[in-house]
């Protein structure tokens, strides 16, 4: 009798577990179907002429990326492609110095904010870099943003606020960062070859092991900046920047300076 009760209890428990599994599987399927419906709708919103609808599409895509592993990368690709298309840099015959710095369009700024606050980043949950190359991001707000490893080659970031931005491994080949604010930004191992940083605020920035061959630093504020291990930095570059006793230079540059003095 006891064995029969045990068997009945076992069968009831097994039936309950199977029922729960089937219920969860059904809910999962319904959820995935809902996401599948929401994704194209959100993408279509980005094509709207109405700013409010476009903004709704941006935040809807952010929500999908949070809950759908399958669609995560697709969301990032859609958002970065939107920025590259709608805010592509257009060459002008007017000298850059004479061009007024525009304010970023609200939908472009919203995308930059969404990209900058995602939970995962390059080399920390993401295997691919965000591509924002040759974009017009002048005066954009990147405060505290996470753009590790982002491709910003040829991008125009004049006057942009990158205070405390996380830019490790980012690629700024030939980028324009004149008058940009990079206060305490993390540019460790960033590629800044041929980048223009004239007049940029780099006070307290971390530039350890950054690639600085051909980087323009005239008038840049390098007070308390950490340049240890920087690649390709020369005295010709650093002597026309503002620096102080807190500016930490690469060993090879300090040794070269000492040799010249001796």
Q: Are strands 121-122 and 125-126 parallel, antiparallel or unpaired?
A: parallel
Whether residue 196 is predicted with pLDDT greater than 60 in this model: the reply is yes
194 lies in some domain: yes
Clarify whether residues 114 and 167 are in a common domain: no
Please list the helix, strand and coil fractions of the chain in percent, rounded to the nearest 5, in that order.
Answer: 40, 10, 50
Query: Is the C-alpha dihedral spanning 208, 166, 153, 195 positive or negative?
Result: negative
**Domain assignment present for 115:** yes
pLDDT tens digits, 97-121: 556 777 889 999 999 999 999 999 9
Q: Is the pLDDT of residue 141 over 70?
A: yes
The residue among 76, 70, 85 whose CA lies nearest residue 36 is: 70
Q: Are residues 113 and 151 in the same domain?
A: no
Type and span of the H or E element at 122: strand 121-122
Q: Are 153 and 130 in contact (CB under 8 A)?
A: no
Residue 22 has what pLDDT? 44
Question: Does residue 81 fall inside a structural domain?
Answer: yes
* CA 76 remoteness from chain centre: 11
Q: Which two tokens stand for residue 37?
A: 């419906």
**Does 140 share its domain with 250?**
yes
In-domain check, residue 95? no
Question: How far apart are the C-alpha atoms of 144 and 130, rounded to whole Å?
Answer: 17
Residue (of 207, 203, 76) closest to 129 by Cα position = 76
- Detail the DSSP E strand segments found in the chain: 121-122, 125-126
> In angstroms, how far is CA 95 from the centroid of its own chain?
28
DSSP calls for 214-240: T-B-TT-B-TT-B-TT-BS--HHHHTT
Which residues constitute the domain of residue 49?
1-89+102-119
Does 84 share its domain with 146? Answer: no
Q: Do both 23 and 84 map to the same domain?
A: yes
Q: Which among 83, 218, 90, 220 is positioned nearest to 142, based on CA atoms?
A: 83
User: Taking Cα atoms as reference points, which of 261, 180, 262, 202 lies closest to residue 233?
Assistant: 202
User: Does residue 147 sit in the same domain as residue 241?
Assistant: yes
Tell me the range of 13-22, 90-99, 197-206 where mean pLDDT is highest: 197-206
Q: How far apart are CA 107 and CA 123, in angstroms?
A: 27
Average pLDDT over residues 30-55: 84
Number of structural domains found in the chain: 2
Confidence of residue 2 (pLDDT cuts 50, 70, 90): low
The total of other beta-carbon atoms located within 10 Å of residue 255's CB is 11
What is the CATH number for 208?
2.160.20.80
Question: Is 97 part of any domain?
Answer: no
Average pLDDT, the chain: 88
Confidence band (pLDDT; 50, 70, 90) for 20?
very low
The pLDDT of 146-152, averaged and rounded, is 98
């Amino acid at each position: 009798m006891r064995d029969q009760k045990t068997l009945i209890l076992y069968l009831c428990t097994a039936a309950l577990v199977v029922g729960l599994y089937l219920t969860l599987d059904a809910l999962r399927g319904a959820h995935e179907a809902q996401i599948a419906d929401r994704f194209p709708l959100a993408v279509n919103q980005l094509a709207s002429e109405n700013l409010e609808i476009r903004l709704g599409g941006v935040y809807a895509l952010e929500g999908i990326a949070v809950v759908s592993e399958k669609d995560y990368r697709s969301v990032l690709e859609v958002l970065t492609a939107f920025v590259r298309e709608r805010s592509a840099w257009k060459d002008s015959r007017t000298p850059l110095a004479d061009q007024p710095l525009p304010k970023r369009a609200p939908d472009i700024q919203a995308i930059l904010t969404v990209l900058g606050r995602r939970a995962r980043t390059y080399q920390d949950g993401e295997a691919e870099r965000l591509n924002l190359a040759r974009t017009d991001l002048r005066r954009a707000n990147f405060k505290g943003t996470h753009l590790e490893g982002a491709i910003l080659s040829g991008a125009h970031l004049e006057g942009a606020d990158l205070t405390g931005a996380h830019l490790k491994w980012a690629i700024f080949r030939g980028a324009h960062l004149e008058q940009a604010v990079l206060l305490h930004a993390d540019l460790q191992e960033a590629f800044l070859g041929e980048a223009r940083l004239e007049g940029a605020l780099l006070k307290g920035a971390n530039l350890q092991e950054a690639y600085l061959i051909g980087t323009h630093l005239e008038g840049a504020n390098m007070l308390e900046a950490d340049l240890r291990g920087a690649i390709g930095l020369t005295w010709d570059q650093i002597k026309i920047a503002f620096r102080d006793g807190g500016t930490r230079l690469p060993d090879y540059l300090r040794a070269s300076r000492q040799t010249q003095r001796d």
